[in-house]
Amino acid sequence: MEDLVSYFDGRCMKTSEILIPVESLGFTRGYGAYECFRSYRGKAFRLEDHLQRLKNTCKSLLIPYPKEDLAKVVDQLLEINGEDEIIFRLYVTCVPDESLYQIVILSNTLDAFAVSNPTTPLSVKTVVDDREHRGIKSTGYGFTEVSTKRAKALGFDTILLIGEDQSIHELGKANFFAVKGTTLITPNEYFLPGITRKTILEIAQSFGYSCVEGKITIDDLKEVDEVFSSATIRGIVPIKQIDDRHFFDYRHAEKLQSYFHNLSAKITV
């Protein structure tokens, strides 16, 4: 795995050289704000949207938002590393003096995330959503990680978080879409407002889709034609199975994925 240049508290350095202090509250308590974004053709994709979401998360967690010009730092990392496609993971956390903060931006190639077959259809297992923080991107992934490991032990790829009323929230690390005819349906509660999700809703009309943001339940899936996920790293990925229900039509996800990748190099703000 290539050792790219990352950023830690004011300095650009090789990722392998970064040493996180053990007193960091991100390490000792899992208390931190987090963003994951990527570049296409050397340009960060919708970086301002990601930074605004980071700001919202910091505000919710009472963590100081960084004073650094983060967009400028990302541009520096892109120039130094000279890679067209980089996955960035940005962390902001506190030290014991909670009026101070620490910032890390890790740079990784796509290979580091094993994105060799990013559109391989997923099998997912439903799990009742018991997360404390919803709608923000924090480092508190304990519930999701444990639930995903349990699902993988049963032969599934990942999880689909649902409410007690069987309403669909989101996947473990992705948003959820269903397709019925020419209508895209996506949940409107208890989900992280994904930047890829936002882009899909913006471009769908150019393909003749109408979009509905509203409640969708597991029982409603009997009436839909197709389901797929959306996320930063993998983009749009078909879902082939939810529990014991199977889906065989992937054409809408494949069409949107192709268009999304062509468009992503053009949208950089």
pLDDT, tens only, 63-118: 999 999 999 999 999 999 999 999 999 999 987 776 678 999 999 998 877 654 56
Pick the CATH number of 122-264 from 3.20.10.10, 3.30.2320.30, 3.60.15.10, 3.40.50.300: 3.20.10.10
At residue 269, does pLDDT exceed 50? no
The full set of domain ranges for the chain reads 5-110, 122-264
Q: Are the folds of 5-110 and 122-264 the same?
A: no
Torsion of CA 76, 82, 87, 90, to 10 degrees: -20
Q: How are beta strands 122-128 and 168-171 bridged, if at all?
A: unpaired
At residue 208, does pLDDT exceed 70? yes
Torsion of CA 219, 256, 160, 136, to 10 degrees: -120
Among 126, 134, 137, CA closest to 190: 134
Which stretches does DSSP call E strand in the chain? Answer: 5-8, 11-14, 32-40, 43-44, 87-93, 102-108, 122-128, 158-162, 168-171, 175-180, 183-186, 210-213, 226-231, 235-242, 245-246
At residue 264, does pLDDT exceed 80? no
User: Average of pLDDT values for 37-58?
Assistant: 95
Please tell me the pTM assigned to this model: 0.90
**By the 8 A CB rule, do 77 and 88 touch?**
yes
Residues listed for the chain: 269
Could you please state the CATH topology (level 3) that the domain comprising 5-110 is classified under: D-amino Acid Aminotransferase; Chain A, domain 1 (3.30.470)
Q: Give per-residue pLDDT as tens, 133-189.
A: 788 888 888 889 999 999 999 999 999 999 999 999 999 999 999 999 999 999 999
